[in-house]
Amino acid sequence: MAASSASPAPHVVHAPAHAAPLKGIASGLLGAHAGAGLRIGIVHTQWNAPVIDALVAGCLRELHAHGVARSDIVVEACPGAYELPLAARLLLRSPLHLRDAHGAKHGLDAVVCIGCLIKGDTMHFEYICEGVTQGIMRLNADTETPVIFGVLAVLDEAQARARAGLEPGSHNHGEEWAQSAIKMALMRRKLLAIF
């Protein structure tokens, strides 16, 4: 008996008409009070101020929207992106930020590092990107505290403005970084039994 030469039909999955965009964190996974009681730090650069200001504002809006109290958010600035890893480490270790609004000792649950690197004509962009990326990654491993990589690495100012929500129809990535901070802080508390 001869084997059938017809191959089986490929399995096709049809997306619903209302499918979510492919990029970004799925919305609706955090409740309105998911961040209540968390202490979040934001450290941002001073370069490219209009973009940074918009990203920090987006991050703050999203933290507030999920119940993180204003008194539980610490915001600090550093000169540039290369300084972000050290600034985040100092923020995590600072005795100034180890007490919550009620005076109880409680360190930061997560830090969001916000910066914007725009490619120029030299290799400076690549070196800074690599150093910042490795520094933030190392902080996560060394401190066991979520340190969120909120650094735009873009080719031009238009890309930076679009990712900061400053162009019509664009999206502010600061919102997603806030969601990541909350999710990772909650995961850390759950898995390390921190209350």
Residues tagged active-site? 124
Cα separation, 49 vs 166, in Å, equals 12
Q: What DSSP letter does each residue of 163-179 carry, written as one string?
A: HBT-STT--BHHHHHHH
The number of beta carbons lying within 10 Å of the beta carbon of residue 177 is 26
Cβ atoms of residues 68 and 182 within 8 Å: yes
Cβ atoms of residues 189 and 109 within 8 Å: yes
Cα separation, 150 vs 81, in Å, equals 10
C-alpha separations of 151 from 37, 39, 99, 157, 179 in Å? 26, 21, 28, 14, 15
C-alpha separations of 43 from 1, 11, 128, 155 in Å? 72, 47, 17, 23
